[in-house]
């Protein structure tokens, strides 16, 4: 029904926003992570890790952030802008490494296919 679809869309968008460390810093500075109801909501959102829901997410790092948000110490550290900046930098480094590694794997596969085509003639 329309209500469930709206709830699904709102929760999907919110969970994906958790991949943004600057947004997490924003929430922390405004005291959301001190609110027991909000912390319980974060725990409830763990259902997004189930395959039937996870397939809709475009930013897989939100899973890791959602996991880390289950820990009070992590939630407290997010008040510090330097913490958010560090996480942001680490994400960028990970993406750069992943992109380079993926490119090398694709090149190696293309070379292997070319050799197979050449040797098969």
CATH number at 1 reads 1.10.10.1340
Three-state SS annotation for the chain = CHHHHHHHHHHHHHHHHCCCHHHHHHHHHCCHHHCHHHHHHHHHHHHHHCHHHHCCCCCCHHHHHHHHCCCHHHHHHCCCHHHHHHHHHHHHHHHHHHHHHHHHHHHHHHHHHHHHHHHCC
Domain of residue 21: give its range: 1-120
Could you read off the pLDDT of 63-107 as tens digits, one per residue? 999 999 999 999 999 998 887 887 877 776 767 666 667 677 778
pLDDT for residue 119: 76
- What are 25-48's pLDDT values in tens digits? 999 999 999 999 999 999 999 999
Domain total in the chain: 1
Could you read off the pLDDT of 6-21 as tens digits, one per residue?
999 999 999 999 999 9
């Amino acid at each position: 029904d329309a209500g469930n679809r709206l709830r699904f869309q709102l929760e999907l968008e919110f969970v994906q926003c958790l991949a943004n460390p600057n947004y997490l810093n924003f929430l922390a500075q405004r005291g959301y992570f001190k609110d027991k109801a909000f912390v319980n909501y974060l725990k409830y959102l763990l259902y997004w890790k189930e395959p039937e829901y996870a397939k809709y997410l475009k930013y897989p790092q939100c899973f890791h952030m959602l996991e880390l948000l289950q820990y009070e110490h992590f939630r407290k550290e997010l008040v510090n802008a330097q913490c958010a900046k560090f996480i942001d930098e680490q994400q960028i480094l990970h993406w750069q490494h992943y992109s380079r590694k993926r490119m090398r794997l694709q090149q190696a596969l293309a070379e292997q296919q070319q050799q197979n085509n050449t040797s098969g003639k």
